[in-house]
Structure 1
Amino acid sequence: MQLSHLRAFCAVAQTGSVAAAAKVLNRVPSGITVRIQQLEQDLGCELFLRDSKGMSLSPNGRLLLEHAQHILDLTDSTRLLMREEDLGGRLVIGALDVVLVDFMPALIGTFRKRYQGVGLDIRHEASEVLVQHVADGSLDIALTDGPVHSKSLESKLAFVDEMLLITERNHPPVKSPADLQCSELYGFRHDCSFRFRMDRWLAEAGISHLPVTEIESYHTMLACVTAGMGAAWVLRSVLQTLPGHQQVQSHTLGPVGYTEIHYLWRSGQLSPNARKLIETGEGLGERRKTRTWSTIGD
């Protein structure tokens, strides 16, 4: 029996369906179904009655629900206790790579000066993975593309940025995907929200012939674009940090390029150290916005 099995069971019991539970936990429905089946096999009994109207708790399911919720509450409170500021504690932070480049150094530097007794564990993942890890309690807090709409998660704006399209220096102005004069685009893998937005940008314009090559490095993307091989989406704040950024042409994407980075945590589970991280970041976002947007012209 695993905590993820109990969490899936409680979510289905409280929402009344696998689909609704999947939304609450930010999982795919098939994953919720597998966890319920594994829990039933482990306990050797049926936990739900299934019919054409949906799912309802069996007698064994009703017996388990209160006990399972108690286990989860105890687990969550234990995690919170172990990370309390009074004990020094440890703060586990997840962030997008783009956040680690520009915003995170100033945030962590200021935080360390104020709270030297707090141990920090900083991990980078794609946006979809970060949301999942916050939902299952593996991360105390994350900085990711947002906002994220979920009853089990809360978020707060950290800063605003802009996604730019970069092309070779002599490329004509780009107002839509139809204006692109290149053979390919560069982007991250599909579990990245920025890649999802790029794919949607192409699809809405009816562009299906332009391949997207996955590259996990903005430095490599910039090198390929500079060489005249293709185009890429890059955050304005990241672009200014890349050596050689003056050698490419940047194009604004309009509303589709507007980007919000949010702090994300589990509802009701914001630890004291995570709260202090957010408080430390207040003001950094606005100062960063002014500095970033005045550095690079289009």
Structure 2
Amino acid sequence: MHVTLKQLRVFVSITQAGTLTAAAERLNLTKPAISMALRELESHLGHPLFDRFRNRLLLNAYGEQLLPWADELLTRAAMLPRALDESLTGGTLTIGASRTVGTYLLPALIAAFRKETGHHDQRLWISHTSAVCTALARFELDLALVEGEVAQQALEPSPWLDDPLCVLAPVSHSLVGRGVLKLAELEGEAWLIREPGSGSREQFFALIGSRLRYCPVSLELNSTEALLQAVAAGLGLACLSRLAAADALAHGRVKELPLAVPLNRRFHIVLHRDKYRGPLLERFIQHCQSFSLPVR
């Protein structure tokens, strides 16, 4: 059996892209070349790796078994040119993050990692929690740092940092300055929330929305900064990470409504259960675990 790295690279790209055409574009190859490499790989292995459905290729049970092996072999091959050098200076680290983590925490985390290790080749992908976890499950990322719940069985979340939340209101809101409020005093208030798939949206409904009888949604937004601007404009209340709200609060753009009930959640470090964890990835995980939230 003669399986090549090119065939494995084609296989992984098809898995991630979903079609031969999209995989060809990713690898800068022709569609016939992609198709031939896949046929050769399936012939060598003696099994089809995808179920064909219309124009899409859906990973089957054999493909699911091969994917972590292919990912590990490609990762090790990428490390090979610098195998005799310092292990942390070579290789690329691909990190996914949900928007709160990616915007307000990840830059400082990466800067500290670069200073500590001298490694500068990181690729970051920031989206909402659901999208980031889907990419991680397809081996498009080495790890993810997220704020919401992780549903995919192939993924392994580990509790990371505590992230206190706060309720924000326009500066002229009638509840501002009333002291610590009971949750029931927010009954009927209009709310600004994040888009479906966001960890912040998920936590809002878990901690506040599910405890109120009437909780109308004024507006959905897919940007934390846009949400803060909407609060400042008087469009409603919002529940956000204190990390994300710190600047807006410090500059008086919005006001906090302190609640008698705790509003806490946790960030998570998420890994694929079958992901190969080389020295670089292990070092970055250790770096994350020793990192502290900036003091505000």
Q: TM-score normalised to the size of structure 1?
A: 0.66
- Aligned runs of 1:176-195 on 2, under 5 Å? 176=183, 178-180=184-186, 184-195=190-201
Higher helix share: 1
1:94 to 96, 102, 127: 96
Contact 1:182 1:229 in 2 (8 A): no
- Please report how far the alpha carbon of residue 106 of structure 1 lies from its aligned counterpart in structure 2 after TM superposition: 2.0
Q: TM-score normalised to the size of structure 2?
A: 0.67
- Structure 1 match to 2:287: 280
> What is the CA–CA distance in structure 2 between the aligned matches of 1:149 and 1:161, rounded to whole Å?
20
Aligned length: 237
2:145 to 143, 146, 154: 143
Contact 2:200 2:240 in 1 (8 A): no
Q: In structure 1, what residue type is equivalent to 2:111?
A: G
Q: Deviations over 1:28-84 (max 9, x none)?
A: xxxxxxxx9x71558xxxxxxxxxxxxxxxxxx9xx84xx46632431222331454
> What is the CA–CA distance in structure 2 between the aligned matches of 1:116 and 1:141, rounded to whole Å?
20
- Structure 1 match to 2:251: 244
The runs of 5 or more residues in structure 2 that have no matched partner are 1-9, 17-47, 55-59, 80-86
Q: State the SS of the aligned residue for 1:186.
A: strand
Contact 1:83 1:271 in 2 (8 A): no
Higher mean C-alpha deviation, range 149-158 or range 270-279: 149-158
Instruction: State the Cα RMSD in Å.
Output: 3.5
Cα 1:174–1:218 change in 2 (3 A) is farther
Q: Deviations over 1:233-292 (max 9, x none)?
A: 11111211336346413324734x21111111111423332221122223322xx27x24
- Aligned runs of 1:279-298 on 2, under 5 Å? 279-285=286-292, 288=293, 291-292=295-296
2:75 corresponds to 1:80: yes
Q: State the SS of the aligned residue for 1:194.
A: helix
> What is the CA–CA distance in structure 2 between the aligned matches of 1:86 and 1:202, rounded to whole Å?
45
> What is the CA–CA distance in structure 2 between the aligned matches of 1:204 and 1:247, rounded to whole Å?
24
> What is the CA–CA distance in structure 2 between the aligned matches of 1:41 and 1:147, rounded to whole Å?
31
Cα 1:274–1:250 change in 2 (3 A) is farther
Contact 1:83 1:91 in 2 (8 A): no
Cα 1:82–1:240 change in 2 (3 A) is farther
2:265 corresponds to 1:259: yes
- Aligned runs of 1:24-173 on 2, under 5 Å? 39=51, 65=62, 68=63, 71-82=66-77, 84=79, 85=87, 88-146=90-148, 148=150, 151-169=153-171, 170-171=174-175, 172=178, 173=180
Q: State the SS of the aligned residue for 1:213.
A: strand
Q: In structure 1, what residue type is equivalent to 2:289?
A: E
> What is the CA–CA distance in structure 2 between the aligned matches of 1:251 and 1:197, rounded to whole Å?
17
- Structure 2 match to 1:232: 238
- Please report how far the alpha carbon of residue 88 of structure 1 lies from its aligned counterpart in structure 2 after TM superposition: 0.6
> What is the CA–CA distance in structure 1 between the aligned matches of 2:15 and 2:234, rounded to whole Å?
53
